[in-house]
Amino acid sequence: MLLEPGIAEALTLAGREAAESLMIDSCVVERSVGEVTDPVTGVVSEGWETVYTGVCKVQGRQAQAASPVAGGHAFTVEQLMIHLPVSAQSRLDDRVTIVTATMDPDLVGATFRLTELARGTYRTADRWNVEAVTG
């Protein structure tokens, strides 16, 4: 079945509105700007700039978490997804911090690294695989 010109685009835009209506949490997406030096203390640390502040949704990707051991330290790596509006313009390795989580207050303050984006012409959201490393 062929669609009239513009119909697929209109349906995609309607799908984006529907997807965003399910994004009831809020987050901040930050991008690394490399090392920065504090002019007062001289301490060198990784610098971050905010690239998006707004709605998001955290979604489970797998029912299991890995528990690797490195250097004698055990830590947990959870594999989740974060859904962002397509307009968020996020990128690989951006850092996402959950600011509010309506249905799961335990998510507030959680930080994730964007690792893989499901791409496509008619996407209704940016659905990122993410990693949260806790320990």
CA angle 4, 9, 15 (to 5 degrees): 125
pLDDT of residue 127: 96
Please give the average pLDDT of every successive group of 10 residues along the chain, which has 135 residues: 81 96 97 92 92 95 61 71 96 96 95 93 94 71
The pLDDT value given to residue 75: 63
Amino acid at 99: V
- Position 132 scores a pLDDT of 82
> What is this structure's pTM?
0.81
Q: How far apart are CA 56 and CA 51, in angstroms?
A: 14
pLDDT at 77: 65
Which pLDDT does position 73 carry in this prediction?
72
pLDDT of residue 58: 95
Return the pLDDT at 79: 74
pLDDT for 50 equals 98
The rounded distance, in Å, linking the Cα atoms of 74 and 54 is 33
Secondary structure of 51-120 as H, E, C letters: EEEEEEEEEECCCCCECCEECCEECEEEEEEEEECHHHCCCCCCEEEEEECCCCHHHCCCEEEEEEECCC
Residue-level pLDDT at 72:
75
Q: Which domains does the chain have, with CATH numbers?
A: 7-134 (2.40.10.270)
